[in-house]
């Protein structure tokens, strides 16, 4: 991670607040200033787009964008009321997604809030948190499968056409996330047979890291209108690197150092099917 990226990530943390119940939030006016918007009116237009995106995603915008009036000093002891918002992490994510990606602070914010939001979602979903490790693996593996389909579509649109092209494209993503290790290296590290799939031999934490990589690579390819195989490969590698750096910032274990589960996803699926038949 560059010094600029580190600075931006630290800055996003520095303006984070907590309410009485310990819930984190950001003030829109502070956030807009960090994102280098010169006027509140310009930033408010981005907020409006983010609110629309929130509603379109099926979420209640009022849960994430809490409007409030604040009193500010205007000189000579005077005060006046201004509009502001208390923003959830998800709201911040939507704002940076609707911001100008040519600004380094916006681009870094897209990575920071995307990864943090996704991590929080996986941790807080009652359906996920209540599951056992094996059940989490099955649930996240299914998500990875679905998101890989949209990643394939985005890569094809960028110019990744043949199966070989896509294998090279995927390898770039792995190398970014695994500190230079490609698919063959990871395969060997896990002592897998040639026919076994890497993703079927990952724990829930490692699967989640790869899910972040896939979702963010797909979004970046689409959002930035990436064209050409080389540009797509470079983008996938950069996304993998940023996910790795965020894991490091959070004090997590690097994906290549996470343990390989004893049972594969295929074994778990067979056991699950057998259990259903027995119960049925």
219 in a domain, yes or no? Answer: yes
107 in a domain, yes or no? Answer: no
252 in a domain, yes or no? Answer: yes
Domain that holds residue 70: 1-99
Domain boundary among 59, 81, 99: 99
33 in a domain, yes or no? Answer: yes
144 in a domain, yes or no? Answer: yes
Mean pLDDT to the nearest integer, 93-100: 82
66 in a domain, yes or no? Answer: yes
Please check whether residues 145 and 54 belong to one and the same domain: no
Please check whether residues 6 and 130 belong to one and the same domain: no
d(CA 182, CA 28): 41
Query: How many C-beta neighbours within 10 Å does residue 225 have?
Result: 9
Please check whether residues 86 and 193 belong to one and the same domain: no
Please check whether residues 62 and 135 belong to one and the same domain: no
186 in a domain, yes or no? Answer: yes
How many angstroms separate the Cα of 99 from the Cα of each of 1, 84, 123, 200? 21, 18, 27, 36
pLDDT digits (tens, 9 = 90+) for 54-79: 887 778 899 999 999 877 777 676 77
Please check whether residues 130 and 203 belong to one and the same domain: yes
Mean pLDDT to the nearest integer, 240-262: 91
106 in a domain, yes or no? Answer: no
Please check whether residues 241 and 161 belong to one and the same domain: yes
Please check whether residues 165 and 261 belong to one and the same domain: yes
Please check whether residues 184 and 259 belong to one and the same domain: yes
Number of domains in the chain: 2
Split at pLDDT 50, 70, 90, the class of 123 is low
Of 51-60, 180-189, 203-212, 214-223, minimum mean pLDDT range = 51-60
Please check whether residues 176 and 261 belong to one and the same domain: yes
101 burial level (CB within 10 Å; 0-12, 13-18, 19+): middle
Please check whether residues 132 and 258 belong to one and the same domain: yes
The answer to whether 85 touches 27, Cβ cutoff 8 Å, is yes
């Amino acid at each position: 991670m560059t010094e600029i990226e580190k600075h931006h990530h630290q800055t996003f943390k520095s303006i984070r607040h907590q309410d009485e119940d310990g819930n984190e939030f950001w003030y829109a006016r502070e956030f807009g200033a960090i994102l280098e918007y010169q006027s509140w009116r310009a930033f408010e237009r981005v907020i409006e787009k983010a609110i629309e995106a929130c509603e379109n995603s099926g979420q209640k915008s009022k849960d994430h964008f809490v409007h409030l009036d604040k009193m500010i000093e205007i000189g000579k002891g005077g005060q006046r009321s201004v509009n502001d918002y208390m923003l959830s992490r998800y709201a911040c994510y939507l704002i940076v997604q609707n911001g100008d990606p040519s600004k380094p602070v916006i681009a870094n914010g897209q990575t920071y809030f995307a990864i943090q939001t996704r991590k929080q979602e996986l941790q807080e979903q009652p359906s996920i948190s209540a599951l056992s490790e094996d059940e989490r693996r099955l649930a996240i593996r299914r998500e990875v499968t679905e998101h890989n389909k949209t990643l394939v579509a985005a890569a094809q649109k960028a110019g990744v056409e043949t199966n070989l092209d896509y294998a090279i494209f995927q390898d770039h993503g792995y190398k970014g996330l695994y500190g230079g290790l490609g698919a063959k290296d990871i395969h060997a590290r896990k002592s897998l047979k040639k026919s076994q799939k890497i993703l079927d031999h990952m724990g829930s934490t490692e699967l989640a890291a790869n899910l972040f990589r896939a979702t963010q690579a797909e979004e970046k390819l689409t959002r930035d209108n990436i064209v050409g195989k080389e540009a797509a490969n470079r983008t996938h590698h950069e996304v993998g690197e940023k996910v790795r750096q965020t894991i490091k910032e959070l004090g997590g274990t690097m994906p290549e150092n996470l343990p390989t589960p004893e049972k594969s996803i295929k074994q778990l699926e067979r056991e699950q099917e057998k259990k259903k038949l027995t119960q049925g």
